[in-house]
Structure 1
């Protein structure tokens, strides 16, 4: 998988992809993330990538020309299955979407900024619009990092334990159950006896019931239907 991220603030994305699981994925040759500075595709001495909105109003709008040049340059080198735009009014990102995107090949992610992009960018280039929640960030970079992390960790071989991602919260519509490690007793707080029993069927039943209980307490909306 290759993910190309287009941004006006590339420095915001230097850290997330240089460490931990995402770095391991690239070292293994399982995924590649490349960040592109939109200003490299802008013309003029100032390398301006935004302009005033027609009709007036507060805030600037990302111009279509540099975005088009960047996307077209990338598409001339390889095929892309998705061109994603990170925007507050996109479809809310969830585990189901992460699972689906993890099966894709090459993707472009465009990070929104200012008051957004010229609407013609969305009409001409964008195949999917994603939001990570009902709030507004200063730009789409952090949201793009969240989506990229959620996708890449699902690629077979990225995690050391192949089954780890399958037991995460939301994979089965439930929150994950409580987990424990040594010591078995800490200041009188004991690990549930069933987890020490070695009886795998009983352990799995306990985990399922604990997941349902925790979901009912914390996210009852997940149980609707």
Structure 2
């Protein structure tokens, strides 16, 4: 996978790209990236990339020319058009399912904005996806882009040390992940559940499934609405509900 990030603050992203899993993924040649300062594409003699909004109002708006030219530069000569992703509070809420979808692509372009917003022609004619990482506003799209990139790259084949890790993540199964424990079995009087020490894989799998259902019911009940539940799952959830009354 190749990732282009269009930003006027490339230094914000460099450190994240060259640490932890993202660094290892590059060393394994699973992805590479290019940071593009779209200010370099401005035709304004002062290298401006923003201007006052037509009709008046507070704040400045990113102009279309530098971004259109920057995207043209990173996509020229490509056989297929990449997904061009705009980080924006108005975008679709980001989910694990979206991360899995984008992880199938060969080329992604991220646009990180600043100021009051974007010229609407950027939304209408340049981008393929608008993504929001939450119902709040940041000073720019760089932090959102780093979140999305991290969530995508870790899904690429052979990036994680254990290939079973990603499919079992919270939200990948549609449920929140079950609790985890490690050594020691007893820490300050707090013990690991006996079933995890039993060596009985069938019982462990059942416990994990039920704990995942319980945690989802307690913290993100909305996720259960569209989840494919077995009769055993429903019976277990009914038991939880009955204990509430």
Q: TM-score, normalised to structure 2's length?
A: 0.89
Q: Any idea what the Cα deviations from partners look like across 1:70-96, whole Å, max 9, x if unmatched?
A: 011111142433111111001111001
- Corresponding residue for 2:156? 155
Moved more, 72-81 or 23-32: 72-81
| 1:15 alignment partner, SS class | helix
| 1:36 alignment partner, SS class | strand
C-alpha contact (below 8 Å) 1:81/1:106 kept by paired residues: yes
1:124 CA displacement: 1.4
Q: Any idea what the Cα deviations from partners look like across 1:157-180, whole Å, max 9, x if unmatched?
A: 101111110111011111111101
1:45 CA displacement: 4.1
| 2:108 alignment partner, SS class | strand
> Is 1:207 matched up with 2:201?
no
- Corresponding residue for 1:194? 195
Q: TM-score, normalised to structure 1's length?
A: 0.97
| 2:11 alignment partner, SS class | helix
1:47 CA displacement: 1.0
C-alpha contact (below 8 Å) 1:62/1:114 kept by paired residues: yes
> Is 1:49 matched up with 2:42?
no
* In structure 2, distance between residues paired with 1:82 and 1:12: 22
- Corresponding residue for 1:174? 175
* In structure 1, distance between residues paired with 2:76 and 2:138: 31
Measured on the aligned residues, the alpha-carbon RMSD in Å equals: 1.0
> Is 1:144 matched up with 2:149?
no
Moved more, 94-103 or 41-50: 41-50
- Corresponding residue for 1:15? 15
Q: Any idea what the Cα deviations from partners look like across 1:32-70, whole Å, max 9, x if unmatched?
A: 121111111113442111000001100000011111110
The total of aligned residue pairs comes to 225
- Corresponding residue for 2:70? 70
For structure 2, which runs of at least 5 residues remain unmatched after alignment? 227-245
1:31 CA displacement: 0.7
Q: Which has the larger radius of gyration?
A: 2
C-alpha contact (below 8 Å) 1:80/1:105 kept by paired residues: no
C-alpha contact (below 8 Å) 2:75/2:82 kept by paired residues: no
Give the alignment of 1:91-170 within 5 angstroms. Answer: 91-170=92-171
Q: Any idea what the Cα deviations from partners look like across 1:88-120, whole Å, max 9, x if unmatched?
A: 001111001101110111011111211111111
For structure 1, which runs of at least 5 residues remain unmatched after alignment? none
